[in-house]
Structure 1
């Protein structure tokens, strides 16, 4: 394994690197080596970052076509730096090379999509003349940028999800203050490098790093931030909603994804897809497969097929191209996962595979004979853990799938179009995926949940709408 010299990342404010009194180490998630140090911001740094973002917003207006060219060029530069970007994700997140490649593909596509959206921002005509007395009025709307966007990003997809916030904000004409996850901040700095190399003027992106409990609160104190966009835990999301007041928020929070395998499903397809997407990114994805509801008539056959696929997954060093499951974000999280699994077993669940942990590596766990009140069923595990639950009535499966505080995405496997459309209408989720897993996400999609899974939509087109205001214009002719 190639060793990486620990690099220091200062705060980035108004196009200048700003040193602070203390720093925070960032570790290689597989071998524990220190790979970087990031600055710990203080409140005056956050204030200064908002100052610079607001000044840039008021003084430097990029045209839509300029924004398009910058984002298009950034997608090309990202491709040119692919190897560097992938290796960074492998080390700072613990992603396997396969998962890192996928994140790079999606990041490049999201930059392309955002570039196109920069050229499509438009309003609409409003038929004022249809109202008596307004025959000489011409009415239309325009969309204008909100201003300074406060973006707080998660650890699990630090490059992609930073891009899903930053690129649409730039496309819409906004400026940003970005607070990346403390354990995986390097990706955001690399994205900054790419965007500025593509021609983005200094001041558009300002990065402040440090503990979320400190930096996040200082950001929320800043009334000059026009909108917050956050991906992370439900607890923090609710706090942001409470603190944001009248300012809009886009929140992508937790989930506990159900996937239904109906009696008429293609079982090989269902087993192959669910096994492949249950444990990618070590299960640390909001829409990872967690609960699989299988019709009891095909329960045993499905389990046999599913376990046969899971047994082919290789767990270990994420830099090995053949590895399928790498380490979790920390040993602490792996220990927490192990405790939840053993608790479920003590309450009557059965493990279809040996329960095994090596440091931050947690091997795929598959549980049956679970009950709805077990943590592994009713809470978001965010780990390589799956429960397989039988049902004998489709409405019962729908009811169990909906019995969750979350509602981001769900999946169902069936050959019956009527069943598929019934699922689309009944499942209380922001997205319903048919004959594929809940984990499917195309970055062009409107992506967002209901219930405690959040507010607003991601996906460049939809994020641009969230990050702009609709303004009514009336002309008296």
Structure 2
């Protein structure tokens, strides 16, 4: 049943899921490895008509998904998690093939995906309403009143390349678990990864017929999902420009957007400099900096600026850059040549503006080396926009007050952090930081799948994480019995 899991080193074709039915198309797109350049997977080229068909199938299926018993949906999620655990190594290698994520981190992503699905199954138990005292006001009267949560019907999901497995699970597991039907458009960079996960869902003995469809494509397919009046919720993770288009085109439906950020931290003079530098190195360069909460801006107190700059530069030079297939590789290549060229331009532009290159700035085995830029100022492009590359900027500040103003002076507000041993400063930072999440004494790149995740400003709308996604993918129905 799961032949696609038997040999990860062969090229495999992803297939369309029109509901539970697998289909092929005459035209296919090829996915080439960012590391080797070899073709590693193929996916059908879907049309507007394919997308519309998938949406219509989902609309019909949503009638049955809404009526399905909760115990079946819980068993469904648990079964998929168990199957994924069985094929852990294969799925990790598929991620390495398609997006060149280092093998050690690809395994971590598979493990997190399993946890995300299992956490969703647990949270389903708590997805309920509550009673309401309708006689609390003089104008009311005593009744039996309550509200409950019901599935929205159809959910459309669009996912990115940087976590091609776990971010799919963060959308489809809660959507299906809540009793909806789903149409998924995965990233073009990792079609096989998404297909393999979808196959586990659709081949489960507990699967609800036609509940999950998968289509592939780019602008036309995505636009069809966005503009259609069939989905009640659209969940998207990606760039701000695309998110802006979605909000203009979506019409009357719930829209959940996770649009990236420009993560920052403050290194207080009371902080442990060595520990802070080690953690900041990880936060800036994990996944080649291609994470929405990659640490991009580090505001360092002037008393420890020089020592911190030396420490983080030393740490970054010790990271292994190279083949994503080697067990001890920390960083592989960026997702494509365009991203590599853009990273070079970022660095060269900053140097021209007066920044100092402390480490990196070169290409190693096709990968852009971990790059530390010092003496960066507020006006430089490298700190004003989302880099999405292994580049981190150090900015010297005289005090916390200066740092927090600079951190908040950004159109993004996803996650910020602070390194300090000053309790009062910690309390101030929690209140002052204009973002969706704050981290104390660790990197803003820290995320637990169980927590609410999302941002303010241009970083998005809504929250992910099983508990909060279940709320996104359900609606409140109020009931009064007189």
TM-score w.r.t. structure 1 length? 0.97
SS in 2 for 1:309: helix
Q: Deviation string for 1:326-368 (max 9, x for gaps)?
A: 1110122111111111111111111002421257511111101
User: Which residue does 1:207 correspond to in 2?
Assistant: 214
Report deviation, 1:18.
2.4
Report deviation, 1:302.
1.0
1:46-445 equivalences under 5 Å are: 46-60=51-65, 61-132=67-138, 134-198=140-204, 199-211=206-218, 213-358=219-364, 360-445=366-451
> What is the RMSD computed on CA atoms of the aligned residues?
1.4
8 Å CA contact retained: 2:41, 2:191: no
User: Which residue does 1:43 correspond to in 2?
Assistant: 48
Deviates more, 1:312-321 or 1:183-192: 183-192
SS in 1 for 2:303: helix
User: Which residue does 2:3 correspond to in 1?
Assistant: none
In the alignment, the residues of structure 2 paired with residue 372 and residue 109 of structure 1 have an alpha-carbon distance, to the nearest angstrom, of: 40
In the alignment, the residues of structure 2 paired with residue 425 and residue 59 of structure 1 have an alpha-carbon distance, to the nearest angstrom, of: 45
Report deviation, 1:3.
8.1
SS in 2 for 1:200: coil
In the superposition, relative to structure 1, how do residues 41 and 3 fare at CA in structure 2: closer, same or farther (>3 Å)? closer
Q: Deviation string for 1:195-249 (max 9, x for gaps)?
A: 23432233111001012x1111111231011110000000111111111122111
8 Å CA contact retained: 2:13, 2:192: no
In the superposition, relative to structure 1, how do residues 360 and 128 fare at CA in structure 2: closer, same or farther (>3 Å)? farther
8 Å CA contact retained: 2:14, 2:191: no
User: What is the aligned counterpart of 2:16 among 11, 19, 24?
Assistant: 11
Report deviation, 1:112.
0.8
In the alignment, the residues of structure 1 paired with residue 187 and residue 112 of structure 2 have an alpha-carbon distance, to the nearest angstrom, of: 19
User: Which residue does 1:32 correspond to in 2?
Assistant: 37
In the alignment, the residues of structure 2 paired with residue 72 and residue 196 of structure 1 have an alpha-carbon distance, to the nearest angstrom, of: 13
In the alignment, the residues of structure 1 paired with residue 360 and residue 87 of structure 2 have an alpha-carbon distance, to the nearest angstrom, of: 40
In the alignment, the residues of structure 1 paired with residue 477 and residue 466 of structure 2 have an alpha-carbon distance, to the nearest angstrom, of: 20
In the alignment, the residues of structure 1 paired with residue 40 and residue 448 of structure 2 have an alpha-carbon distance, to the nearest angstrom, of: 32
SS in 2 for 1:255: coil
8 Å CA contact retained: 2:309, 2:374: no
Report deviation, 1:133.
5.5
In the alignment, the residues of structure 2 paired with residue 88 and residue 256 of structure 1 have an alpha-carbon distance, to the nearest angstrom, of: 29
In the alignment, the residues of structure 1 paired with residue 353 and residue 162 of structure 2 have an alpha-carbon distance, to the nearest angstrom, of: 30
8 Å CA contact retained: 1:256, 1:406: yes
SS in 1 for 2:386: coil
Q: Deviation string for 1:424-470 (max 9, x for gaps)?
A: 11010100000010000001100000000000000000000111001
In the alignment, the residues of structure 2 paired with residue 252 and residue 343 of structure 1 have an alpha-carbon distance, to the nearest angstrom, of: 28
SS in 1 for 2:232: strand
Report deviation, 1:311.
1.6
Q: Deviation string for 1:143-200 (max 9, x for gaps)?
A: 0000100100001001000000000101111110000011112221111122234322
SS in 2 for 1:129: coil
SS in 2 for 1:223: coil
8 Å CA contact retained: 1:364, 1:385: yes
User: What is the aligned counterpart of 1:465 among 466, 471, 475?
Assistant: 471
8 Å CA contact retained: 1:179, 1:209: yes
Q: Deviation string for 1:370-401 (max 9, x for gaps)?
A: 22222211000000000011100211100000
Report deviation, 1:104.
1.4
In the alignment, the residues of structure 2 paired with residue 32 and residue 200 of structure 1 have an alpha-carbon distance, to the nearest angstrom, of: 37
In the alignment, the residues of structure 1 paired with residue 93 and residue 12 of structure 2 have an alpha-carbon distance, to the nearest angstrom, of: 15
In the alignment, the residues of structure 2 paired with residue 353 and residue 132 of structure 1 have an alpha-carbon distance, to the nearest angstrom, of: 70
8 Å CA contact retained: 1:331, 1:359: no
In the alignment, the residues of structure 1 paired with residue 353 and residue 89 of structure 2 have an alpha-carbon distance, to the nearest angstrom, of: 46
In the alignment, the residues of structure 2 paired with residue 277 and residue 394 of structure 1 have an alpha-carbon distance, to the nearest angstrom, of: 21
8 Å CA contact retained: 1:333, 1:360: no
SS in 2 for 1:203: coil
In the alignment, the residues of structure 2 paired with residue 3 and residue 248 of structure 1 have an alpha-carbon distance, to the nearest angstrom, of: 38
In the superposition, relative to structure 1, how do residues 419 and 51 fare at CA in structure 2: closer, same or farther (>3 Å)? same
